[in-house]
A and B are shown apart, each in its own frame.
Chain A
Amino acid sequence: DIQMTQSPSSVSASVGDRVTITCRASQDIHTWLGWFQQKPGKAPKLLIYGATTLETGVPSRFSGSGSGTEFALTITSLQPEDFATYYCLHADSFPLTFGGGTKVEI
């Protein structure tokens, strides 16, 4: 099975900050990676798929990069509504696996 190692597990930031979250895959997953945002009590929301493609309606301050085994989600100019938990998901092959999550907090 492919393991997804996400870091950091939490990050303290302020409005306007730039935040970068990384995911490392245990083997080559090409660009079959998505990023999700989850707020308490809500279902996750897809932000990025294909490692770099922004989902419709997602603000452009979110961006994804990487391929192979190293991936990153960057939020430029953090907004109040961006404080949430973020997860990566690989979809290269079954079984799919999520990263452990990164909580972005004030």
Chain B
Amino acid sequence: QVQLVQSGAEVKKPGASVTVSCKTSGYKFTTYGINWVRQAPGQGLEWMGWVSAYNGDTSYALKFQDRVTMTTDATTAYMEVRNLRSDDTAVYYCARGGGIKLLSGDWTYWGQGTLVTVSS
């Protein structure tokens, strides 16, 4: 069965970096990309970006373009967020998807979420 398993919770100081991983199994990794979504406490969902597992192409939301890098290796996607601020405190999710043109099989599978807390 398809699974996306994310790395564990992190506590970081302002200005630090964090890398969240999303290990996949149960499907051919290169068939789909990985979207990253975050949710601040009590807030809505925010799309951060997408990485192709086929060729590494990326697309980022404008507000994250300077601070976020999304990459993949054999079966795992990674998202690095640099220069963390207190308002980056959120649950970060990965979700399998092809990027644009939401099709059958896209967004069906999600990781369990990773809480990143930014505090001095």
Contacts of B108 in A (CB 8 A): 46, 55
In B12-42, which residues have CB < 8 Å from any A CB?
Answer: 35, 37
Q: Are A101 and B104 in contact (CB under 8 A)?
A: no
- Interface digits, A82-97 against B, CB 8 Å rule (1 contact, 0 not)? 0000010101111111
Question: Residue B102 contacts which of A38, A44, A49, A100 (CB distance < 8 angstroms)?
Answer: A49
14 additional contacts (CB under 8 A) given A46-B108, A49-B107: A1-B62, A32-B102, A34-B106, A38-B45, A43-B110, A43-B112, A44-B45, A50-B103, A53-B104, A87-B44, A94-B100, A98-B37, A98-B47, A99-B44
- Interface band, chain A: 20 to 34
**Binary contact track A6-46/B, C-beta < 8 Å → 1, others 0:** 00000000000000000000000000111010100001101
Count, A-B residue pairs, CB within 8 A: 72
